[in-house]
Amino acid sequence: MSVLVGTETRLLVQGITGREGEFHARQMLAYGTRVVAGVTPGRGGVSAVDGSVPVFDTCEEAVRETGANTSVIYVPAPAAPDAIVEAVGAGIGTVFCITEGIPALDMLKVVPVVEASGARLIGPNCPGATSPGRAKVGIIPGNIHHEGRVGLVSRSGTLTYEVVQAMTDAGIGQSTCVGIGGDPIIGSTFVDILSLFAADPQTEAVVLIGEIGGEAEETAAGWAAENLREKPVVAFIAGRTAPEGKRMGHAGAIISGGRGTAASKVAALQAAGIRVANSPTEIPQLLEEAGVRPS
């Protein structure tokens, strides 16, 4: 079983006629994802990806004609908030926003709209999600995955790739890997994704990849201590050597007032009984020590 994306995914690509949208649509199709439609205003009636994907002017048209239930957004930052709202307004249940650089004030307006619609937003500024052997949505390379029973949730795209590759090299497969994005305002938190893994009978262990800034990892640690007791959790926190008050990479990776430090996150995770790796490459070993076997 997978979470968020799988064989039932019918994917709509917003911005499919742009360079990034078409490139990644090809990659997702090659992986086996059911890409059923694209949306680019003013380009309705044409086809993308060598004629294999019909393009519509609006999400409403695309959903009506193709039954799309998931969207991935590759449009520029100024248009991305409206693209999210349009997708959920058309009845899309899960939206992945890959776009980076969206102002936090814009997302403060968008997130309540998504929540009111009952949809789920992943991102913005996220790499997407992959359920190995079933579907991939976003920009995560498909070839680094191996099908298995470990779920992964991360704030960092590049660290996601590094950890997944290390797990695959060790023969430890993944059920679903989700990048939630590193911006200050995002649609889905660690807890939101951990709750999906907790309910998934085929996810037997979880990897959490965090970084400095905010309190999301501490909140996740408290939640996991109460709700993930039956599934081992292994974590890694990036930014242990970051200077105080310095933003490192993501817009949300900034320590303020002594809160959100790597030390405070590691302490919270360890207090919750979660094993914390000193480097990403240690994660397979910690999983094996927790009882996870190669798959």
Residue numbers annotated as active site: 250
* Strands, sheet with 174-179, edge to edge from the N-terminal-most edge strand: 135-138, 128-131, 174-179, 147-154, 205-211, 233-238, 275-276
Contact 63, 92 (CB under 8 A): yes
CB-based contacts of 263, cutoff 8 Å, min separation 6 = 240
The answer to whether 254 and 213 are in contact (CB under 8 A) is: yes
Instruction: Tell me how far CA of residue 212 lies from CA of 76, 156, 165, 217, 257, in angstroms.
Output: 27, 11, 23, 9, 13
SS3 content of the chain, % helix, strand, coil (to 5): 35, 20, 45
Q: How many CA atoms lie within 13 Å of 191's alpha carbon, on the beta-carbon side?
A: 13
Structure tokens at 12: 């709509």
Q: Which of 113, 65, 74 is nearest to 97 (CA)?
A: 74
Residue 153 · residue 273 · CB < 8 Å: no
Choose among 136, 138, 141: nearest CA to 6. 136
- Give phi and psi for 179, each to the nearest 5: -105, 115
